[in-house]
Amino acid sequence: MSAPLAHRPAPQKSQKDARSIPVLPGFAATQQHQLVLYPANSEIYGQGEKAVALYQVEFGAVRVFRLLSDGRRQISGFYVAGEVFGFEADGYHHFFAEAICSAGVRAYRLPPSAEVAHEILPLALQALVRTQEHLLVIGRQNAAERVAAFLVDMMERQGGLRQIELVMQRTDIGDYLGLTIETVSRTFSRFREAGYIRLVSSRTVELVKVDALRSLCG
């Protein structure tokens, strides 16, 4: 796993009123929203900062990670269009959040009003379940099983389409799955040779044999 360069270029506010991703209904009724654009690799929030908002990805993708004591990086989650991140239990961020590529992000101020607080619980529980599933993947599965689970998960989160966009680098995937970049690259090559996937471009992968990938997940 590798250590990233932590930097935060100044985000830009979008001049358009983007509506392709629905705003959380209760928040939309009580807050003004302006899309903020983050360049690739720019920091959205840092570890130790006060948690003053929840964040929703409008477009692009975000990685949430922590730096380990030995300088390595452990990515705890990726977030794509429509997904919400930034949940904290004690009012402070315990992880960093960065834009993987150019990303548009909305911020919803905390604490929420009473009439919209009920919207947060399902989102927080969904995030908890996803975290638990990820811990099972990296704790019990081998490299092929981890990569297969990652590909199937990304497919399901991108509407079930067999062609998926992977804007993250192989190093990101390795830091998420607890694998080296060499192991990730070898596993992708094995899947391609077996006919499980087709590499359409550097960022687009077609899942040719979804059932085979699912069977690998266990």
What is the spatial distance between Cα 162 and Cα 213, in angstroms, rounded to a whole number? Answer: 12
Mean pLDDT for 94-109 is 94
Instruction: Kindly state the tokens that stand for 10.
Output: 């100044």
What pLDDT digit, counting tens, does each position of 9-56 carry?
555 554 444 445 665 656 655 555 678 999 999 999 999 999 988 899
Q: Residue 9: CB partners within 8 Å, gap ≥ 6?
A: 38, 39, 42
C-alpha 216: how far from chain center:
22
More confident position, 182 or 114: 182
Parallel/antiparallel/unpaired status of strands 43-45 and 61-67: unpaired
pLDDT confidence of residue 140: 74
What is the spatial distance between Cα 95 and Cα 124, in angstroms, rounded to a whole number? Answer: 16
More confident position, 187 or 21: 187
What pLDDT digit, counting tens, does each position of 148-186 carry?
999 999 999 998 889 999 999 999 999 999 999 999 999
What pLDDT digit, counting tens, does each position of 89-100 carry?
888 999 999 999
What is the spatial distance between Cα 141 and Cα 150, in angstroms, rounded to a whole number? Answer: 12
Residue 58, CA atoms < 13 Å, CB-side half-sphere: 21
What is the spatial distance between Cα 111 and Cα 97, in angstroms, rounded to a whole number? Answer: 20
76-98 as b/e: b if 16+ CB within 10 A: bbbbbbebbbbbeeeeebebbbb
Task: Please provide the distance, in angstroms rounded to a whole number, between the alpha carbons at the two ends of the chain.
Answer: 25
DSSP state of 22: P
Instruction: Kindly state the tokens that stand for 102.
Output: 């150019």
* Mean pLDDT rounded to a whole number for the chain: 85
Least-confidence region, from 48-52, 133-137, 149-153, 204-208: 133-137
Q: What are phi and psi of 44, to 5 degrees?
A: -90, -45
Query: Domains of the chain by range and CATH?
Result: 12-135 (2.60.120.10), 142-217 (1.10.10.10)
Least-confidence region, from 17-26, 60-69, 102-111: 17-26
Instruction: Kindly state the tokens that stand for 145.
Output: 């099983």
